[in-house]
Amino acid sequence: MDSDRSTETRVADLLGRMTLREKAGQMVGLHVGSFSVLQREDPRTTTVEDAKDAIRDHFVGSATPFGTGFSPYNTAVVAGRVANQLQRVAVNETRLGIPLLIPVDAIHGHAHIEGATVFPHNLAMAATWNPDLVERAARITAIEMAATGANQNYAPTADVAREPRWGRTYETYGESSPLVEEFVAAETRGLQGASLDGPTSVAATVKHYPASSEPTRGEDTAPVDISMGTLRRVFLPPFERAIDEGVAAVMPMYNAIGNEPAHASNFYLTDLLRERLGFEGVTCSDWLGVWMLAERHQTAASFTEAVEQVTTAGLDVASVGGVQHAETLCELVESGQLSESLLDRSVRRILTLKFELGLFEDPYVSPRSAIIDVGSDEHRRVSREAARESVTLLQNNDETLPLADVDDLFVTGPNADSLDNLLGGWTVFGFDENEGSTVRDGLEHVVDDGTTVTYEPGVSSGELTDRDAVASRAEHADATVAVLGEPWYLHEFGPESLRGENGGFPQRNSLELPPAQRALLDVVTATETPTVLVLVTGRPLILTDVLDQVDAVVVAFFPGLEGGRAIADVLVGNTNPSGRLPITFPRAMGDFPVRHDWLPHPSPLGMDEHLPSYDPLFEFGFGLSYTEFAYDALEVSDETIVDGNAVTVSVTVTNSGDHTGTETVQLFGEHRYSSVVTPVRELKGFSKVTLSAGETQTVTMTLTADDLRVVKPDGTRSLESGTYELFVGDLNRELTIE
């Protein structure tokens, strides 16, 4: 308890005092609420009193009483009180008084708490191409978490979105590993602050290690089958970057990789993660990850065998293992099947994190902090800024947008008046409508006084409704805004009991708009009234067949609590759109996989006889503005680069249009030749610049020799001499690697 001593000394002292049961307790967590929505065999609800008993009697070291979709305690003040109750039991009613880790799922803000600031989801944040904004959002998330007593976040998500059919695409920062790296690093810094023991710092947990986002069939948690070279080139860099930033915890994926479940893999949890990547923190299971070894992967004959497997592999905390997992650990040690030294290894890491968080000095929270900090006006302003920067303009025929001289504006579609569908999953469902604005609300707020906004939903329960009313309103309007796309969902597009029925959408088999939404679009466009399609979605959808019908297309990837107002501001021109796609929009389902960093390959019949390898509807990095930008004078500070050095890449950007606007300058590169096959187009840098009409500015980016290394089949990286070509817009320059 002497805070003047080193953490290492304090951990050693405490560990030396602990019994086997106390050690086992520290390695498990529990939740408050019910898993019945997941159809688990045991639907029993865990109460706060159950949690207190588990802490007293089994020394459980981690508890999640709120901040999930399964807990009833999701108001800010109540959450803080519950956290304090559980901490008091841990500190005052157990022999050693070890405080609790209290993790939450704060994926895009502390969004499982009513009234909290809900930011755009990660895919939308990536569309801002603004890591500084993500760091600010993460700092706010940490402040609001700490105000409710939470001290660990199951974020950031470091998955690289390589499979758009996957239902968790919106949780990612897109398809480019370098882009994901920058955002993961920013989120880690924001959550953990300058020091973990700061009063508003929380432990970040990077997930889902090492490569959950390219599952077979696009099916959530299905096996991942990739090479070591692809693992090291595409999927591991964001995790490595998080480790470099000092991330406190790592969560393995549910999936098997190379036929080996990540939760039970000594190679992935120990050899690769700790010995090669240098991670020294805590590993935490995904929620039912241990149980799934026996019940789903079938690599363990029993729950007992599953516990033995994960402990041997290097898993430190079974996040919702509860009393059963703790008792099983004790039985395995007492029977000689498991060495107590393995428990010591994990407990040492867990205690280190608790000391570093300052929990032994003060684990409690003032309920007044929640009243002041959670959902404050200042925090909401940052959310609105993020939403505005994330909205992306994909089509604007005949300058339909911004809407001008519109006396009668018709708004329709299943997402036009739904706040839940703007928020997306990992959010309190049924969020208080007064806490945010829908697209309909936003437009009613921002249009000119002389403009009338009329509304018909058009689609209900997956069916086209009120066809005549929709047609009549569209025909008499000056413009129609159709807000279509996906509803609120989690994981594999559920639970349907919450998100409702939307004509079989979303799903994995088709990314086209569902029949009812297509029919609605047919009705409104048949009137020949200018039509703007606003797409609210968690992943790229296939719009090939509808582009010719509509005059403009705007996409918002679950833009959060301020999303309705942000979309409205873009539509009327209060905001010049600056979002750029962090993920490719394909032309057809048969194009999958379609990625900007595709690998070159032979064409036995000649190039003219092969379809293009990358010919998307909207490419990675694409986005329009209400102004125009021109590039000139791409220069490199040195014609050659050697190991350990760096060069500066500069380009002149001019706003050649009539409005102030923000451009994202994107630097891509390609090895002309190398010993292994490398992508034809990899993102190597980016920078945002805001320019007034007619203004010119030189943008510079730094390129290091490490950025140019190639990944060998065994996963090692090396710098190879040769020609490297750089691209910015239509400009290109060569760089020689020596």
Catalytic residue among 105, 159, 220, 286: 286
CA Rg value for the chain:
26
Q: Find how far residue 301's CA is from the centre of its chain.
A: 34
Residue 38: predicted pLDDT:
46
Q: Comparing 264-268, 459-463, 537-541, 555-559, which segment has the lowest mean pLDDT?
A: 459-463
Torsion sign over Cα 15, 19, 20, 22: negative
What are the tens digits of pLDDT across the range 157-180?
999 999 999 999 999 999 999 999
- Band (43; pLDDT cuts 50, 70, 90): low
pLDDT of 619 strictly over 60: yes
Q: Reduced to 3 DSSP states, what percent helix, strand and coil does the chain have, rounded to the nearest 5?
A: 35, 20, 45
Query: Which residues, other chains included, contact 115 with Cβ-Cβ below 8 Å and sequence gap of 6+?
Result: 75, 76, 374, 375, 432, 435
Residue 461: predicted pLDDT:
82
- Band (39; pLDDT cuts 50, 70, 90): very low
Domains detected in the chain: 20-372 (3.20.20.300), 391-496+509-586 (3.40.50.1700), 627-737 (2.60.40.10)
Q: Residue 607, class by beta-carbon neighbours within 10 Å (0-12 exposed, 13-18 middle, 19+ buried)?
A: exposed
What are the tens digits of pLDDT across the range 682-726?
999 999 999 999 999 999 999 999 999 999 988 899 999 999 999
Phi first, then psi: give them for residue 635, nearest 5 degrees. -130, 150
What are the tens digits of pLDDT across the range 198-214?
999 999 999 999 999 99
Gap between the Cα atoms of 508 and 187, Å rounded:
29
509's tokens: 């088999």
Phi first, then psi: give them for residue 11, nearest 5 degrees. -65, -45
Taking all residues of the chain, what is their mean pLDDT, rounded to a whole number? 95
Residue 97: predicted pLDDT:
98
pLDDT of 37 strictly over 80: no
562's tokens: 């301020």
Residue 521: predicted pLDDT:
97
Residue 34: predicted pLDDT:
81
Quick check: pTM over 0.95?
yes
What are the tens digits of pLDDT across the range 501-518?
667 788 999 999 999 999
Judge if the upstream peptide bond of residue 506 is cis by omega within 30 degrees of 0.
yes
Q: Comparing 233-242, 457-466, 501-510, which segment has the lowest mean pLDDT?
A: 501-510
Inter-residue contact 316 to 28 (CB < 8 Å): no
Q: Once rounded to an integer, what is the mean pLDDT over residues 34-59?
A: 78
Q: Once rounded to an integer, what is the mean pLDDT over residues 376-387?
A: 97
Gap between the Cα atoms of 475 and 524, Å rounded:
8
- Band (642; pLDDT cuts 50, 70, 90): very high
pLDDT of 574 strictly over 70: yes
Torsion sign over Cα 269, 270, 274, 280: positive
13 is known as an active-site residue: no
Q: Once rounded to an integer, what is the mean pLDDT over residues 255-265?
A: 97
Q: Once rounded to an integer, what is the mean pLDDT over residues 538-549?
A: 97
Percent of the chain having pLDDT more than 70? 98
Q: Once rounded to an integer, what is the mean pLDDT over residues 141-149?
A: 98
Query: Which residues, other chains included, contact 292 with Cβ-Cβ below 8 Å and sequence gap of 6+?
Result: 254, 261, 263
Gap between the Cα atoms of 63 and 30, Å rounded:
5
Q: Once rounded to an integer, what is the mean pLDDT over residues 317-331?
A: 97
Residue 36: predicted pLDDT:
59
If one compares 432 and 734, the residue with the highest pLDDT of the two is: 734
Gap between the Cα atoms of 661 and 655, Å rounded:
7
pLDDT of 658 strictly over 90: yes
What are the tens digits of pLDDT across the range 335-374?
999 999 999 999 999 999 999 999 999 999 998 889 999 9
